[in-house]
Chains A and B, each alone.
Chain A
Amino acid sequence: MQLSTMAKKPELSPEQRKTVKKARLWQQIRANGWSYVYLAPMALLLLVFIIYPLFASLGYTLYQWNGIGDPSNFVGLANFVRVLHDGIFWEAFLHTFIYTLVLVPVQLLLALALALILNNPKMRFSTFYRSVYFIPVVTSAAVIGIVVRLILTNFGDNVNQLLLNLHLIHSHIDWLADPHFALGIIIIVGIWNTLGYNLVYFLAGLQTIPTELYEAAELDGAGPIARFFYIVVPMLRSVGLIILILAILGSLQVFDLVQVLTAGGPYFSTEVVNTYIYHQAFGGFSSTVTQPDIGLASASSFFYGLILIVLSFIQVLIFRYSASRRAEQRLA
């Protein structure tokens, strides 16, 4: 519309056009005043609590600051150098990596198997089972942390006693206080905690597969295994990819579970990147960090954020790729 009206007035100079355009823009903005008012609360919250902090945290990285008063001790990029040379940061990085590397495949395979069983239309009580396996997802991490700690702690007739009776272990083990076991326990609890999400994702994906495909394959004599590899796997490829990426990004950002189970201890053996940042910024529950170091915390969070942004970017690319492939499949 704007283009056609402008084409009718060729006598206007570029500057005049600009003023006309500006006036028009102003007119349009005024005409839509209420639209901006409706948008305002959301936009304001977004600006103040999401977008501004993204830039502000970048500023903090340049200062040595304990969080009291205004940052004044400018240190340039020293905080980044400190992060890159901090052994505990890299240890935390390694733990986060191990957590993701073990949790994601185990959880996804379990969730897929369960989804395949529950997707059977003849399956009775499948909604009930789905709820049962989903419930840990809606549970607060604080409760999970406390309950798991109580069940595993060394008193009375507990898990240790049971395992001793079964001759699976030879002596009492303080599971969460032992550097050999703590991360493993956190991974197991993590698998239990968020499996429900992936179960529902896979169920949604499986429901997009037309049942006629299974019936046709069954008529052709394909058994359950053949049906899985020749129907489910190719049909779930794009959704599965998204599920995989979401699971990876989710586990790389683990915080609550670790904080409530071990707070990164014992001896930093379960410190993940997010608990490391938290401990640098707000002091530790059990670790030795006491003096807040906002600059270092911001630098490490910014550095790790960059890694995640790169991963998210790859994720967007893969989304695009799989969407275009789906479109091609539809055309073919």
Chain B
Amino acid sequence: MTFLATITANIQRKRLNSYRHYMVRRRLLGLLTHVILLVCGVLWMYPFLWTLGSSFKSIDGFFNEGLNIFPKEFEWSNYVQAWNEASFGQFFFNTVFVTVLTVICTLLFASMAGYVLARKSFPGKKYFIGLIAITLFLPHGYTILPVFDIVQRLGLLNTLWSIILVQTAGGMVFSTFLFMGYFTAIDRELDDAARVDGANFHQLFWRVLFPLSGPMLATVALFTFIGTWNSFLIPLVFTLGQPQLQTLAVGMFAFIGQNSTQWTYLCAGSVITLAPIMLVFILLQRYFINGIAGAIKS
């Protein structure tokens, strides 16, 4: 009874408030929300803005202007120096090579596996799906030592291929699951129609299902791209003591150990490392965020 009474009281109070008064208050509240979100957003992005600004500062400017985002004088040569002398150019190409090949391998292998797991029935399929479901729940990152040993035995230590292989394997289960789910959701009548038209096992995949999986290809590519580009432990372990093979993440980290004074180069290097990721994320964020949101919903 008291609950009902409060509700009616509330309604009456609301009616008493004039509509205009209500709107003004709402507008002000909305404006305040935006101000808070913007100020916090600038603070949130501050480390990036500072890095971008500092990458153009001279060494003197770096020390005198401290926390300032905007440099007083622009020193473009930081980028040239970082690219050539601090070998960020080399690191950049290593990273691009590793990332591109990892993305391609992941897309190919995961989509092929996802196709047969979603569409074909063969002995052992159930056990296999069970096995990969278990590995999905197991904690990762505890097996770096035996992986290191295998890579050594394969003679791949201190090659970029080792990073590509291990990185591809690491994302394989999750990507396969995504493709499996995606192909399962496509109507099976499509397969029958294709078969009537004379499509065989291979054509059904390469000509029909693979081209249809555009959004999932984009999602998996983006996840793999970001994960590989930023990966730290795996390239660190497999390129220990091989500076010419290092990726941006590892190379930058090694640079800070060797040259403790060239901070502005380091900032330029950070921008070189961040720019491609930010660009790709901003352009394709829809796929990334949908992928993450989809993972939590299912």
Question: Interface of A with B (CB < 8 Å)?
Answer: 25, 28-29, 32, 34-36, 38-39, 41-43, 45-46, 48-54, 56-57, 60, 67, 117, 123-125, 129-136, 138-151, 155-159, 161-162, 192, 197, 200-201, 203-205, 207-208, 220-221, 239, 242-243, 246, 249, 253, 255-256, 259-260, 274, 277-278, 281-282, 285, 294, 297-298, 301-302, 304-305, 308-309, 312-313, 315-316
CB-CB under 8 A from B28, the residues of chain A are none
In whole angstroms, how far apart are the Cα atoms of A211 and B164 in the complex?
46
In whole angstroms, how far apart are the Cα atoms of A99 and B273 in the complex?
27
In whole angstroms, how far apart are the Cα atoms of A163 and B172 in the complex?
47
In whole angstroms, how far apart are the Cα atoms of A156 and B8 in the complex?
63
Given contacts A35-B122, A56-B146, contact A146 B252 (CB under 8 A): yes
**A143's closest neighbor in chain B, by CB?**
B270
CB-CB under 8 A from B10, the residues of chain A are 221
**B63's closest neighbor in chain A, by CB?**
A156
Is the Cβ of B274 less than 8 Å from the Cβ of A150?
no
Q: 6 closest A-B pairs (Cβ-Cβ)?
A: A157-B66, A221-B10, A53-B143, A204-B293, A49-B169, A140-B230
CB-CB under 8 A from A133, the residues of chain B are 41, 44
Given contacts A141-B249, A243-B296, contact A38 B147 (CB under 8 A): no
Given contacts A45-B165, A56-B146, A146-B253, contact A260 B123 (CB under 8 A): no
Is the Cβ of B123 less than 8 Å from the Cβ of A150?
no
In whole angstroms, how far apart are the Cα atoms of A151 and B140 in the complex?
32
Given contacts A42-B110, A156-B64, contact A28 B123 (CB under 8 A): yes
In whole angstroms, how far apart are the Cα atoms of A41 and B237 in the complex?
24
In whole angstroms, how far apart are the Cα atoms of A54 and B123 in the complex?
25
B11 at the interface (CB under 8 A from A): yes
Is the Cβ of B66 less than 8 Å from the Cβ of A312?
no
Is the Cβ of A43 less than 8 Å from the Cβ of B292?
no
**A162's closest neighbor in chain B, by CB?**
B67
CB-CB under 8 A from A220, the residues of chain B are 7
**A220's closest neighbor in chain B, by CB?**
B7
CB-CB under 8 A from A242, the residues of chain B are 296
In whole angstroms, how far apart are the Cα atoms of A67 and B148 in the complex?
10
- 5 more A-B residue pairs beyond the given contacts A53-B143, A131-B282, with a C-beta to C-beta distance below 8 A: A54-B138, A117-B37, A129-B37, A239-B296, A302-B142
In whole angstroms, how far apart are the Cα atoms of A139 and B280 in the complex?
12
B6 at the interface (CB under 8 A from A): yes
CB-CB under 8 A from A130, the residues of chain B are 289
B14 at the interface (CB under 8 A from A): yes
Is the Cβ of A45 less than 8 Å from the Cβ of B145?
no
Is the Cβ of A60 less than 8 Å from the Cβ of B292?
no
Listed A/B pairs (17) with beta-carbon separation below 8 Å = A41-B112, A45-B109, A49-B150, A49-B166, A52-B146, A138-B278, A140-B230, A140-B274, A144-B47, A150-B266, A155-B63, A204-B296, A221-B11, A253-B140, A277-B142, A282-B237, A297-B145
Is the Cβ of A39 less than 8 Å from the Cβ of B233?
no
CB-CB under 8 A from B123, the residues of chain A are 25, 28-29, 32
- B139 is contacted by which of A56, A131, A147, A312 (Cβ under 8 Å)? A312
Smallest CB–CB gap between A319 and chain B, Å? 10
Is the Cβ of B141 less than 8 Å from the Cβ of A253?
yes
Is the Cβ of B170 less than 8 Å from the Cβ of A274?
no
Is the Cβ of B116 less than 8 Å from the Cβ of A38?
yes
Is the Cβ of B66 less than 8 Å from the Cβ of A148?
no
Given contacts A146-B270, A282-B240, contact A308 B47 (CB under 8 A): no
Given contacts A156-B64, A157-B66, contact A141 B230 (CB under 8 A): yes
B256 at the interface (CB under 8 A from A): yes
Smallest CB–CB gap between B83 and chain A, Å? 16
CB-CB under 8 A from B48, the residues of chain A are 135, 139, 147
Is the Cβ of A139 less than 8 Å from the Cβ of B150?
no
In whole angstroms, how far apart are the Cα atoms of A130 and B120 in the complex?
40
Is the Cβ of A39 less than 8 Å from the Cβ of B232?
no
A34, A139, A143, A162 — which one has the most chain B CB atoms within 10 A of its CB? Answer: A143
In whole angstroms, how far apart are the Cα atoms of A45 and B168 in the complex?
8
In whole angstroms, how far apart are the Cα atoms of A203 and B98 in the complex?
33
Is the Cβ of B146 less than 8 Å from the Cβ of A192?
no
**A118's closest neighbor in chain B, by CB?**
B37
CB-CB under 8 A from A312, the residues of chain B are 137-139
CB-CB under 8 A from A51, the residues of chain B are 131, 135
Is the Cβ of B274 less than 8 Å from the Cβ of A143?
yes
Is the Cβ of B278 less than 8 Å from the Cβ of A135?
yes
Is the Cβ of B44 less than 8 Å from the Cβ of A192?
yes
Is the Cβ of B145 less than 8 Å from the Cβ of A294?
yes
Given contacts A129-B37, A151-B47, contact A50 B143 (CB under 8 A): yes
**B249's closest neighbor in chain A, by CB?**
A142
Q: Mark B88-120, 1 if CB is under 8 A from A, else 0.
A: 000000000000000001001110110111001
Is the Cβ of B232 less than 8 Å from the Cβ of A221?
no
CB-CB under 8 A from A316, the residues of chain B are 137
B226 at the interface (CB under 8 A from A): yes
In whole angstroms, how far apart are the Cα atoms of A46 and B131 in the complex?
10
Is the Cβ of B248 less than 8 Å from the Cβ of A140?
yes
B128 at the interface (CB under 8 A from A): yes
Is the Cβ of B146 less than 8 Å from the Cβ of A53?
yes
**B222's closest neighbor in chain A, by CB?**
A138
Is the Cβ of A281 less than 8 Å from the Cβ of B145?
yes
- B297 is contacted by which of A60, A117, A139, A204 (Cβ under 8 Å)? A204
